[in-house]
């Protein structure tokens, strides 16, 4: 080894290392050039985003207005606070600290923890809304220590009449994970933003949503706001104007009182739905604020199912309210309305005896008397002569068994039975007793309160009245005449005699000069006589009370229906119809009657709901089951229960239905209280007085019985 060799080796290594270093330098320079030139825009934006935060401003929802422009759902400014789960460093500690600052109840704190545990990381969880300024300020100054807490000023949904519109309007709430997956709109996960969850709020979500605003603010590295840079205001959603009369809706809901039921009122001239009250109900303000486990448990455990919209999803045997409709079918088939049938208290059909509600009988009965005295034997005999098919066809023409084109999330459309339907559903032949049961609105026949109101309006006008719920919907059906005018006049007069003559609803007369109410009572048996007599015993075994009506009878303007679940008979329904129509024609008289009743009941519907919740919460505290995390779980359960209730009524379809007394007839002939017959069994029908000779009824097949 000599100096020359060492020098040569060193030079080679120097060249090699220099080449490597030069290559690395070139690569670094190229990369820096790429980042500085090609990726300039990307990193400029990322740098800007570190310095500037861009947040969406939730748009104000459009108002839902009644026919006169009064708000049924509006917005009010408030202070609120939300939590973003993925930003929480110490969820338990943060929630506990917020609870102490806002003085939240232990049950509410537990609810918040459950929601945070079950929420997606990006999904905001509402802590509280409607805060006062002091609470809002106390949270705002502590934000550096409360990572993931978002206090903000905004607008919350407000329902002025609360529970009166709960089922109709629905409510709003934060978007669920499933809803965000279907519509990955950043707006849906913006703290404070809520979407329609039920009712019209859900149905008109697109129109009510509006356009979000935006806010750009300069922030420090820790996220503290330095200054506002730019704000773009939100655009409020479009208003939705309904045909509903707000004061009438509130009055009807309150007038139902302590009962469970519904009231529907329509304008016969336009089809406008003026009232769709379903009670008991829930306070949509509570759902919009995030219902707690205690309040949900109270609603869930109530046997009167306050979460079910009874107007659209309540199915009931219509009872004797179908008799005017059946009369139209009889006249269309050539039955002379003056022809009489002798009612001796019952009629033998095959080997069974079907009783009339008046066990003493009505004597000679023509069609008009059959309606206003609600004689069952008349319809037993006549219906057998024409068969079920024309009666079923007439029922559908009157709106029964039909689904109407309304902007609602769903509606049940009941059952209009006929021979084809029974064979398809049950695989059995139609029997004569099926016709007899159906002709008095029992057996397999089911309808909703909305369908009964439509039937009343079509009977009153003779036209194909179609219901509508929004003012921008064009009225339909009025160019179609369903029934001859002379038949309409006949039935209209008979229904007037139900109230204003010797009929079954004399106490339904309006206390207004020159305005007469016409109607038809109905009592629907729910279970067999072996279980209940329909008047007493467990609430769920009592008879339903129904009443369809229109006024003024000689020039119908309004029509509707009242259905009271398990009210014990029609006597629970028609006083409500009387007061609702009184309020429509004379609000002062209507309010006078309601005020007196509410004093007895313990306040308005909302006041009673608040008091009941306070008592329920005081009794149970936080020791109740958790509310469902998905709204669908609430309403799927309610719909399932509605179908079970309908099946309960159909369970006695093959039994002999024992008609109940139709309230207290106000005219002649006087009727004494009937004697309850022995309970029916599978082999023995109820014992009723044998009917006197009457025109021999004929079955569908033409064989005399």
Question: CB-hemisphere CA count at 13 Å for 645?
Answer: 27
What confidence score (pLDDT) does residue 621 get? 61
Query: pLDDT tens across 599-622, in order?
Result: 999 999 988 988 888 888 888 765
Phi/psi at 463 (5° precision): -110, 165
Query: pLDDT tens across 12-54, in order?
Result: 778 788 888 888 888 888 888 887 787 777 777 666 666 677 7
Taking residues 507-518, what's their average pLDDT?
Answer: 94
The dihedral region occupied by 591, where left means phi > 0, alpha psi between -120 and 50, and beta the remainder, is alpha
What integer best gives the mean pLDDT of the chain?
Answer: 84
CA distance 127 to 290: 8
575's tokens = 């006083």
Find the DSSP H helices in 474-586: 485-500, 574-585
Query: pLDDT tens across 289-337, in order?
Result: 677 778 888 888 888 999 899 999 999 999 999 999 999 999 999 999 9
Query: pLDDT tens across 457-493, in order?
Result: 999 999 999 999 999 999 888 877 778 999 999 999 9
Among 391, 437, 387, 420, CA closest to 653? 437
CA distance 450 to 400: 9
pLDDT category, 648, cuts 50, 70, 90?
Answer: low
pLDDT category, 658, cuts 50, 70, 90?
Answer: confident
pLDDT category, 5, cuts 50, 70, 90?
Answer: confident
Taking residues 170-181, what's their average pLDDT?
Answer: 86
Give the rounded distance of the alpha carbon of 63 from its chain centre: 19
**223-232, 364-373, 608-617: segment of lowest average pLDDT:** 223-232
Indicate if the pLDDT at residue 629 is higher than 70: no
CA distance 197 to 548: 32
Pairing between β-strand 240-241 and β-strand 64-65 as defined by DSSP bridges: parallel
CA distance 508 to 577: 7
- Beta-sheet strands, E only, within 220-355: 225-232, 240-241, 261-267, 273-279, 341-343, 346-349, 352-355
Q: Over the range 59-85, which residues count as b (16 or more CB within 10 Å of their CB) and which as e?
A: bbbbbbbbbeeebbbbbeebbbbbbbb
Taking residues 340-347, what's their average pLDDT?
Answer: 94
User: 132: cis peptide before it, omega within 30°?
Assistant: no
Taking residues 575-592, what's their average pLDDT?
Answer: 95
Contact call for residues 416 and 448 (beta carbons, < 8 A): no
**Please, which residues have CB within 8 angstroms of residue 449's CB and are 6 or more apart in sequence?**
262, 263, 264, 310, 311, 314, 316, 561, 562, 563
CA gyration radius for the chain?
34
Share of the chain above pLDDT 70, in %: 86
């Amino acid at each position: 080894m000599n100096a020359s060799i060492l020098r040569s080796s060193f030079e080679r290594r120097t060249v090699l290392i220099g080449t490597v270093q030069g290559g690395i330098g070139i690569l670094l320079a190229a990369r820096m050039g790429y980042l500085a030139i090609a990726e300039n825009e990307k990193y400029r934006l990322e740098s800007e985003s570190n310095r500037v935060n861009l947040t969406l401003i939730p748009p104000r929802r459009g108002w839902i207005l009644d026919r006169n422009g009064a708000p049924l759902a509006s917005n009010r400014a408030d202070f609120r606070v939300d939590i973003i789960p993925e930003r929480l460093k110490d969820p338990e500690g943060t929630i506990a600290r917020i609870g102490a600052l806002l003085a939240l109840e232990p049950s509410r704190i537990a609810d918040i923890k459950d929601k945070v545990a079950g929420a997606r990381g990006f999904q905001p969880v509402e802590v509280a809304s409607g805060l006062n300024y002091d609470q809002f300020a106390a949270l705002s100054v502590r934000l550096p220590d409360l990572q993931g807490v978002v206090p903000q000023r905004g607008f919350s949904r407000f329902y002025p009449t609360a529970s009166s519109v709960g089922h109709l309007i629905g409510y709003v709430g934060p978007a669920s994970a499933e809803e965000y997956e279907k519509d990955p709109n950043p707006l849906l996960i913006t703290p404070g933003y809520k979407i329609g969850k039920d009712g019209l709020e859900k149905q008109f979500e697109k129109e009510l949503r509006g356009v979000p605003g935006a806010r750009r603010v300069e922030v420090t590295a820790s996220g503290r706001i330095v200054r506002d840079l730019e704000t773009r205001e939100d655009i409020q959603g479009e208003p939705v104007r309904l045909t509903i009369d707000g004061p009438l809706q509130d009055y009807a809901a309150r007038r139902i009182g302590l009962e469970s039921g519904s009231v529907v009122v329509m304008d016969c001239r336009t089809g406008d739905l003026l009232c769709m009250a379903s009670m008991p109900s829930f306070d949509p303000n509570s759902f919009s604020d995030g219902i707690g486990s205690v309040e949900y448990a109270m609603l869930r455990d109530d046997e009167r199912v306050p979460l079910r919209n009874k107007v659209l999803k309540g199915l009931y045997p219509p009872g004797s309210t179908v008799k005017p409709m059946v009369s139209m079918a009889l006249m269309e088939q050539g039955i002379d309305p003056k022809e009489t049938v002798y009612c001796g208290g019952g009629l033998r059909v095959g080997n069974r005896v079907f009783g009339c509600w008046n066990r003493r009988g009505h004597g000679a009965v023509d069609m008009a008397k059959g309606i206003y005295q609600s004689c069952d034997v008349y319809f037993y005999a006549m219906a057998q002569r024409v068969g079920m098919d024309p009666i079923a066809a007439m029922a559908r023409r009157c709106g029964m068994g039909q689904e109407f084109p309304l902007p609602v999330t769903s509606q049940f459309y009941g059952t209009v039975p006929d021979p084809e339907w029974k064979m398809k559903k049950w695989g059995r032949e139609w029997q004569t007793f099926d016709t007899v049961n159906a002709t008095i609105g029992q057996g397999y026949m089911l309808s909703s309160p909305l369908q009964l109101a439509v039937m009343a309006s079509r009977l009153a006008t003779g036209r194909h009245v179609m219901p509508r719920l929004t003012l921008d919907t064009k009225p339909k059906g009025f160019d179609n005449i369903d029934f001859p005018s002379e038949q309409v006049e006949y039935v209209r007069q008979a229904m007037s005699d139900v109230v204003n003559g010797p009929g079954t609803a004399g106490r339904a007369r309006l206390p207004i000069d020159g305005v007469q109410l016409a109607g038809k009572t109905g009592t629907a048996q729910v279970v067999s006589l072996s279980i209940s007599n329909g008047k007493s015993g467990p609430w769920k075994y009592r008879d339903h009370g129904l009443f369809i009506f229109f006024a003024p009878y000689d020039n119908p303007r309004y029509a509707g229906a009242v259905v009271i679940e398990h009210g014990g008979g029609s006597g629970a329904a028609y006083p409500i119809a009387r007061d609702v129509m009184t309020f429509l024609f004379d609000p002062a008289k209507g309010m006078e009657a309601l005020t007196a009743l509410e004093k007895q009941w313990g306040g308005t519907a909302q006041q009673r709901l608040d008091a009941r919740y306070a008592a329920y919460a005081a009794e149970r505290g936080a020791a109740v089951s958790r509310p469902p995390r998905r709204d669908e779980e609430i309403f799927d359960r309610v719909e399932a229960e509605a179908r079970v209730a309908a099946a309960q009524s159909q369970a006695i379809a093959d039994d002999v239905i024992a008609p109940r007394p139709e309230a207290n007839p106000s005219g002649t002939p006087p009727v004494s209280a009937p004697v309850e017959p022995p309970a029916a069994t599978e082999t023995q029908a109820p014992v009723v007085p044998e009917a006197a000779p009457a025109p021999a009824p004929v079955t569908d097949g033409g064989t005399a019985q």
